[in-house]
Amino acid sequence: MSDIAIQVENLGKRYRLGEREPYKALRDIIASGVSAPFRRLTHRQEGKHQANPEYIWALRDVSFEVKQGEIVGIIGRNGAGKTTLLKVLSRVTEPTKGWAKVWGRVGSLLEVATGFHPELTGGENIYLNGAILGMKKTEIARKFNDIVDFAEIGDFLGTPVKHYSQGMYVRLAFSVAAHLEPEILFIDEVLAVGDAAFQQKCLGKMSDVARGGRTVLFVSHNLAAVTNLCSVVYLLDKGQVVTSGPPQEVIGKYFASIRPSRAVSLRQRQDRSGDGRMRFTDLVIQDGKGNPISVTASGQDIEISVGYEASDNQPLQKVRVGIAFHDLFEQLLVLCANDLTGELFETLSPRGRIVCRIPHLPFYPGRYNFNLHAEVNGIVADWLQPGGTLEVAGGDFYGTGRLPPESHRSFLMSHRWTANESKIDSVVNGNE
C-alpha cells in the first residue's frame, strides 16, 4: 500500500434526477407545512403523487487504486460520471457512500478560469486564481513572470480581463493552472480550450507533468491526448467502471461500445462503376487476430476484409484489387494493391473474401476514407468511391507513448537513430 496515491472503495454519489437538486423556495416549505395535515387525507386517493423522488446514481460502487506517478485517463460518454468522480475526489461534493483516501497535496482543475473576476486586471487575476487553486502568495509571486510569459499576454497585464479576447483569457487561465505544483492533479477537459497552437502548447505542458512523476487523473474526450499521456485508462459507463487497462485496449472497447463493429454491407450501393463482372458485397475491418473492430490505432496491425461475388457464378481470372486511402480533403495518400506486392489472384472462386493485411498502421490518428477497386482481366469490374472509412484513434506507433505534434500530422514512419561520435571526424576529413 505504500506507493499508492489514491485509493477508492465502493464510492457512490446519488443525485436527485436532473443532475442538480432544484432549489426550494421557502414558499414551498411553508406550503407543504400547512398542507401536511391534509395530505394524509388526500394521499390515499392520489396514491402515486407521493412516490419517492427519483434519484440517479451518478457514481456506483467505484473502486480502484492509483499508484504514485501514474497518469490515469478517465473516458466515457457524457453523463457517465467522469466529472462527478473528479468532483468527489477533489472534495467539491461529498460522496453518498463509500470512501476514498488520498496521499499527497491535491490540485484540481475542473475548469480553467475558475474564480477569474472580469473587473480585475490580468495581474490581479493571477494572484486571485492562484490562491483559489491552492497556491501560496509567495509561490505565486515567485512564478508570476513565468505565468505571464507562458500566457503571452505581455502588455495587457494591467487591463481588466473583461477586455481580453477569448484567446488571451483562456491562455492566461491555463497558464496559472499549469504552474500549479501539487503532488496529485485532477484535470477535467482543460485541453479543450484555445486555438490549435495553444492546445499543442498545453499538451506539451501536460507531457512535462507526466514526466515529472506526478500522479494525474485526467478526464477527457480527446482520446489522442489520453493515449499519448496516460498509462492506465478507466472506462466509465452509467457511473460504473466498466473496464480498465492500457489506453489502446480500453479505447478500443469504448468505441466498440458506442459503435458496434459489424460488417458493412456494400450490396445496396448504387454509386459504383465498372462492368459488374465482380461486386464487393461487404466490408469488415479487423484487428491483427481477425476480430472485427470499429476503430483502429496508429501502429496497430489491421486487416481490411471484403466479401465479393461474381455476377455469372464463374471463376474470376486475373483479379486485381486496390484500396486507395484519402484524407478528408480528398487528397490521395496511399494505394494498396495486390499487383504492387506481386500477389495477383490468377483465379478466384465465384464468391469469397479477400483480405488486405496492413501491419503497423502508419496513419496519424484521424479519419480516412478509402476507395475499393477491382479489375478482372484488366477491365474495371467494381469501383466504390469511397468504399469505407478507417477510424484511427490514438495509438502508440513508436512504442514510446509519443506521437508527433498535430502540426506535424502526416504519415508515421518507423525509423532508428544512431550516433557514433568517433566517426564524425573521418567523414568530414574524407570529404576534404
121 SS3 class: strand
Among 39, 43, 211, 259, binds another protein (CB under 8 A): 211
Query: Distance of CA 69 to CAs 3, 5, 154, Å?
Result: 9, 8, 34
Q: DSSP 3-state helix, strand, coil percentages of the chain (rounded to 5)?
A: 30, 35, 35
Closest CA to 370 of 327, 413, 308, 309: 327
Q: Does 110 bind another protein (CB under 8 A)?
A: yes
Among 18, 20, 49, 54, binds another protein (CB under 8 A): 20
- C-beta closer to another protein: residue 209 or 392: 209
Among 100, 304, 390, 403, binds another protein (CB under 8 A): 100
Q: Does 124 bind another protein (CB under 8 A)?
A: yes
Q: How far is the CB of 53 from another protein (least distance, A)?
A: 14
Q: Does 176 bind another protein (CB under 8 A)?
A: no
User: 149 in the Ramachandran plot: left (φ > 0), alpha (ψ -120 to 50) or beta?
Assistant: alpha
- C-beta closer to another protein: residue 141 or 355: 141
Please tell me the distance from the alpha carbon of residue 98 to that of residue 215, in angstroms, as a whole number: 22
Q: Does 34 bind another protein (CB under 8 A)?
A: no
Among 56, 61, 64, 128, binds another protein (CB under 8 A): 128
Amino acid at 277: R
- CB count, 10 Å around CB of 209? 20
User: 228 in the Ramachandran plot: left (φ > 0), alpha (ψ -120 to 50) or beta?
Assistant: alpha
Q: How far is the CB of 54 from another protein (least distance, A)?
A: 15
- Beta pairing class for 332-337 and 316-326: antiparallel
Q: Does 104 bind another protein (CB under 8 A)?
A: yes
Q: Does 357 bind another protein (CB under 8 A)?
A: no
Q: Does 3 bind another protein (CB under 8 A)?
A: yes
Please tell me the distance from the alpha carbon of residue 410 to that of residue 130, in angstroms, as a whole number: 38
Q: How far is the CB of 151 from another protein (least distance, A)?
A: 14
Closest CA to 105 of 183, 204, 7: 183
Q: How far is the CB of 126 from another protein (least distance, A)?
A: 11
Among 60, 171, 201, 214, binds another protein (CB under 8 A): 214
Q: Does 152 bind another protein (CB under 8 A)?
A: no
Q: Does 55 bind another protein (CB under 8 A)?
A: no
Q: How far is the CB of 332 from another protein (least distance, A)?
A: 42
- C-beta closer to another protein: residue 208 or 275: 208
Please tell me the distance from the alpha carbon of residue 395 to that of residue 297, in angstroms, as a whole number: 4
> Could you say which DSSP state residue 426 is in?
H
Q: Does 200 bind another protein (CB under 8 A)?
A: no
Are 118 and 82 in contact by the 8 Å Cβ rule? The answer is: no
Q: How far is the CB of 354 from another protein (least distance, A)?
A: 51
> Could you say which DSSP state residue 376 is in?
E
Query: Which residues, listed in sequence order, are joined to residue 325 by a DSSP beta bridge?
Result: 334, 370
- Gyration radius of the chain's alpha carbons: 29
Q: How far is the CB of 167 from another protein (least distance, A)?
A: 20
Q: Does 239 bind another protein (CB under 8 A)?
A: no
Among 61, 65, 152, 183, binds another protein (CB under 8 A): 183
391 SS3 class: strand
Among 35, 42, 50, 93, binds another protein (CB under 8 A): 93
Q: Which residues bind another protein (CB under 8 A)?
A: 2-3, 5, 7, 15, 20-21, 23-27, 29, 68-69, 87-106, 108, 110-111, 114-115, 117, 119-120, 124, 127-128, 131-134, 136-137, 143, 146, 160, 178-179, 181, 183, 205, 208-209, 211-214
